[in-house]
């Protein structure tokens, strides 16, 4: 009788693991934000849900990018302005999160920090500075702009007028690829750095960032005793724009 109970418990555990893997692979997966490249919209310590169905499925939808899905199935092109998680093409295993700026066939150029897509200037206006707080609790003011990006209004940061990618050559996005940038424009390694990140293959898309479900300031998730002071309550269940 005890052996039967043990077997039943094992079956229940395996079934639960299988269901969890299905949800993680095909419905939604949690991620945490480890860097400030998407400030002011995503902060270090944010925990987000990413929908896996938004752009179709590839091997990168599965744990450890297990290669049982050939190419991309049910593929759908993201919209400009979507915040996406993808595997970097350099190693096909590191997760990055950035904003889609250019689609296949787009021609993109950065001039004095302003984005031109197919010769059209993306307009922006200066708004109140972003108050950034580092791990030591020190604050600094960073210039913030409201960017009118097609049908979206996006808050972006611009630390300096002469960043190394504030003026670029022309980028021509190949078919089957897309072009991404971080919202923290002077503090993001993204498609502007061709030899580091470059253009992102469609099959490397993991999913679309949908909302922040939890957020901690200067604390790790398992440090539960720090939660009362560390939880950013104003960021809980917050939609990602």
Tell me the CATH number at 220: 2.10.109.10
Assess contact for 99 and 181: CB atoms under 8 A.
yes
3-state helix, strand, coil in the chain (%, to 5): 20, 35, 45
Rounded to whole angstroms, the Cα distance separating 88 from 126 reads 32
Note down the domain range covering 179: 2-239
Residue 26 sits at φ, ψ, to 5 deg, of: -120, -10
- For residue range 88-143, what is the model confidence (pLDDT) as tens digits? 999 999 999 999 999 999 999 999 999 999 999 999 999 999 998 776 778 889 99
Checking 195-200 for CB contacts under 8 A at 24+ apart, the result is: 196/90, 197/88, 197/89, 197/90, 197/96, 198/89, 199/89, 199/171, 199/173, 199/174, 200/86, 200/88, 200/89
The catalytic residue positions are: 37, 98
- For residue range 148-197, what is the model confidence (pLDDT) as tens digits? 999 999 999 999 888 899 999 999 999 999 999 999 999 999 999 999 99
- The token duo for 158 is 């611009």
Q: Model's pTM, two decimal places?
A: 0.91
Structure confidence at residue 1 (pLDDT) = 56
Rounded to whole angstroms, the Cα distance separating 22 from 63 reads 10
Rounded to whole angstroms, the Cα distance separating 168 from 117 reads 13
Q: Which helix (H) or strand (E) holds 146?
A: strand 139-149
Number of domains comprising the chain: 1
Q: What is the dihedral of CA 11, 15, 17, 18, to 10 degrees?
A: 130
- Bridge partners, residue 225, by sequence: none
Terminal Cα distance for the chain, rounded: 55
Structure confidence at residue 87 (pLDDT) = 96
């Amino acid at each position: 009788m005890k052996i039967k109970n043990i077997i039943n418990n094992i079956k229940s555990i395996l079934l639960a693991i299988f269901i969890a893997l299905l949800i993680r692979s095909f419905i939604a997966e949690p991620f945490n934000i480890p860097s400030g490249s998407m400030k002011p919209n995503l902060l270090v310590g944010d925990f987000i849900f990413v929908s896996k169905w938004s752009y179709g499925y590839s091997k990168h939808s599965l744990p450890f990018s297990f290669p049982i899905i050939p190419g991309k199935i049910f593929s759908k092109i993201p919209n400009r302005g979507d915040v996406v998680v993808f595997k970097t093409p350099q190693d096909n295993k590191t997760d990055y999160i950035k904003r889609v700026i250019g689609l296949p066939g787009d021609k993109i150029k950065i001039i004095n920090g302003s984005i031109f897509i197919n010769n059209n200037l993306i307009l922006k206006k200066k708004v109140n500075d972003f108050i950034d707080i580092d791990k030591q609790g020190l604050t600094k003011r960073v210039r913030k702009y409201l960017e009118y990006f097609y049908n979206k209004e996006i808050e972006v940061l611009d630390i300096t007028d002469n960043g190394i990618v504030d003026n670029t050559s022309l980028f021509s996005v190949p078919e089957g690829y897309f072009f991404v940038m971080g919202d923290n424009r002077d503090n993001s390694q993204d498609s502007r750095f061709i030899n580091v990140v470059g253009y992102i293959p469609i099959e490397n898309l993991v999913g679309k960032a949908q909302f922040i479900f939890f957020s901690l300031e200067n604390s790790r998730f398992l440090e539960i005793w720090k939660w009362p002071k560390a939880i950013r309550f104003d960021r809980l269940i917050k939609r990602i724009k």
